[in-house]
Amino acid sequence: MANQSVLMGGNPTKYDPTNPIVIFLVQATIVIVFCRILHLPLSKIRQPRVIAEVIGGILLGPTAFGRIPGFSRSIFPPASLPNFNLVANVGLILFLFIVGLEVDMRLVVKNARVALSVGIASLVLPFATGAFVAWILHRQYADTLEKDDFGVFLLFIGTAFSITAFPVLARILTELKLLRVNVGVTVLAAGVGNDVTGWMLLALTIALVNASSGLIALYVILLVIAWVLILFFLVKPAYAWLLRRSSSDSGPTDTMMTLTILLVLASAFYTEIIGVHPIFGAFLVGMIIPHDNGYAVNMTEKIEDLVSVLFLPLYFASSGLKTDIGLLNDGKAWGYTILIIIMATASKVVGSMLAARLNGFLWRESLVVGVLMSCKGLVELIVLNVGLNSGILSQKVFTMFVIMALVTTFLTTPLTLWIYPTAYQHRVARWRDGETDWEGNELSTPTAGEADSRSTGIGTVLLVVNRIEGVAPLLQFTHFFSAKVTRLHLVRILEITDRLSQIIKVSESDDLINSDSLISIFKTTARLVGMRLSYALQIVALSDFSPVLAKEAIEHKADLVVAPWIQDCEESSGNDYIVALLETHTTNMAILIEDTLPHEPEHAMRARTTSMGSLRSMMRASARPTSRRTATAIHEKPIEAERTHVYFPLFQFGKDEVLAMHLLTSLVQSDRVTAHVVFFK
């Protein structure tokens, strides 16, 4: 029977088993909107979105909103939860497939010694500590467990203590700009190995809890091993062969997407029916997808929005509906909760810290490695839900561990910033490079080559590329520099977003720098014209563009930073970072403006006029007396011209004019450039 419309007196919040879509749409809308609202204030203190989603799920459950009379009965009626959980678990399968895509074992191989030592230490000590805590909890709450098997309980608690949330960890490392330092590389590589081991331990635990006897458990383990071997040694090569045949090397075609999703569902089905869990099968398929030419990134981009916007909030809401903090209604329960938090954090920090110290890290660096490895995040929540659904955990013990996961994830970013601030990072980097002693006193002096280049013009120019529109004017401008005098350093800057695919880009940034098309253009041009070029790739938040560029300028002793002004941006969205960069007091800045094109369409002229008006306003706003020196370069001649003549009128001799003269001196070192300087009194 069709559901009655509201015009006929129908109630959209009343669950109708013949038409469950109505109540599901209400539930999904409330969950997504509520989690997004919670994320707004939490994002200001640099907390990952998973924190808001977990807290939102808890608040919508019996802990808070569930205590409002009629709320749970109207919005989350028990009869509707199977449908809600079904959709959430489908999303979980797809999410674990993406987690598998994020695992790139090449990262572990590149940093094998330190990654394995830190990874093993961050597993063994927490697992042993978890076993001790499991013994304490089992003595107290054994009668509340659905399946009272101490061995399985111990294995599960040890696994929960050992886990590091790789997806959240990669996001935190990116936001804190730690990917290029030893700490970040070590944590990322160790996190990959830890992630894989954690899921295998979870699969073993579920196999044991679902098996009716030891022999059945052995059969389950053997079937899992057989499936892993089939996937890696038969399916993976066949998949790579199909990839080449379907011309999908640069991105998945519709056929390859269909094949991949079917493979995910088949693997999830197999691991479910043999008694493990469907998420493990999806995770394994993600691990066999090739990472060459950014294929894994492109694959993730196809499905990530649906997973992160719809499915994950629903899953954490379903988790929150099972979490009742009200169950912790006595001092003993809260004492055990605090014990779990302290032991889980301390064991991770101490194990990882000692391993890092043995690998030559400073004590403070070692400590921050431990803090980062203690991040639990959404992976812990997924593991805990598996434990609850399998009967390993009671709802009370489950709630204790949910609070532990929230606290450890919440503390990771502020503790890292406190222990390992940017000033300390710079101090250690300069000390390791031999530029200063440990007290910060300068040790290095300019070389003869550097002194000569500074006397004859601009020695090092830092070029900024963040959009394709800026490539052509930069190439034309650099064409006039003499390779004998000027060295170019290119910074390709990409914006990090909340997308799941960004995590793969972050972990594969070393490969991305060699495959990035814009960097390749500059490398080819430099080889053709004999220009000295170095380059770097930075993946950072938009608000961090200017600090990162200022840091690059200092590290490479750049005399001038050249940034192209994107003139077809009506709202100057591609130029916002230039405003902040102009405010720095350590960077000489040149804004490169491409010459106006003849016979432009009217809409392009309007966009250009608006953009240039924005530039003039910005220059007026930043024209304060400071130690900063600013120059504006205007390119007028196309690159094909054999010779370029620069007319430079001078009206005064200030810091900007001196810098502009240095720039002109560098340009005229080239045979293709002549100049005419006129001083007006």
Nearest CA to 235 out of 286, 300, 303 is that of 286
Nearest CA to 405 out of 468, 483, 493, 340 is that of 340
3-state secondary structure 626-641: CCCCEEEEEECCCCCC
Strand ranges, E, within 636-681: 644-650, 673-679
**Three-state SS for 391?**
coil
Same fold, 12-423 and 445-679: no
Per-residue confidence at 214, pLDDT binned at 50, 70, 90? confident
Q: Looking at the predicted structure, is the pLDDT value of residue 568 above 70?
A: no
Per-residue confidence at 134, pLDDT binned at 50, 70, 90? very high
pLDDT computed for residue 638 by the predictor: 46
| Rounded Cα–Cα distance for residues 306 and 129 (Å) | 38
* Residue range 236-267, pLDDT digits in tens: 999 999 888 887 666 788 889 999 999 999 99
Count of positions (residues) in the chain: 681
Phi, psi of 111 (to 5 degrees): -120, 45
CA angle 167, 32, 269 (to 5 degrees): 55
pLDDT computed for residue 342 by the predictor: 96
What are the Cα distances from residue 209, in Å, to 147, 149, 158, 675? Answer: 8, 8, 15, 81
Query: Going by CATH, does the domain composed of 12-423 fall within 1.20.1530.20?
Result: yes
pLDDT computed for residue 223 by the predictor: 92
| Rounded Cα–Cα distance for residues 625 and 607 (Å) | 31
* C-beta separation of 368 from 420 below 8 A: yes
* Residue range 599-612, pLDDT digits in tens: 455 544 455 555 54
Higher pLDDT, 141 or 669: 141
Nearest CA to 175 out of 536, 508, 498, 500 is that of 498
The amino acid sitting at 668 is V
pLDDT computed for residue 449 by the predictor: 46
Give residue limits of the domains in the chain.
12-423, 445-679
pLDDT computed for residue 230 by the predictor: 96
Secondary structure element (H or E) that encloses residue 594, with its range: strand 589-594
- Other residues' Cβ atoms within 10 Å of the Cβ of residue 14: 12
Superfamily of domain 445-679: HUPs (3.40.50.620)
| Rounded Cα–Cα distance for residues 94 and 619 (Å) | 49
Q: What b/e readout covers 439-454, taking b as 16+ CB neighbours within 10 angstroms?
A: eeeeeeeeeeeeeebe
Percentage of residues of the chain with pLDDT beyond 70: 78
Mean pLDDT of all residues in 66-83: 88
pLDDT computed for residue 378 by the predictor: 77
User: Mean pLDDT of all residues in the chain?
Assistant: 80
| Rounded Cα–Cα distance for residues 76 and 129 (Å) | 38
Higher pLDDT, 185 or 593: 185
Per-residue confidence at 186, pLDDT binned at 50, 70, 90? confident
Give me the residue label for tokens 């090092």: 460
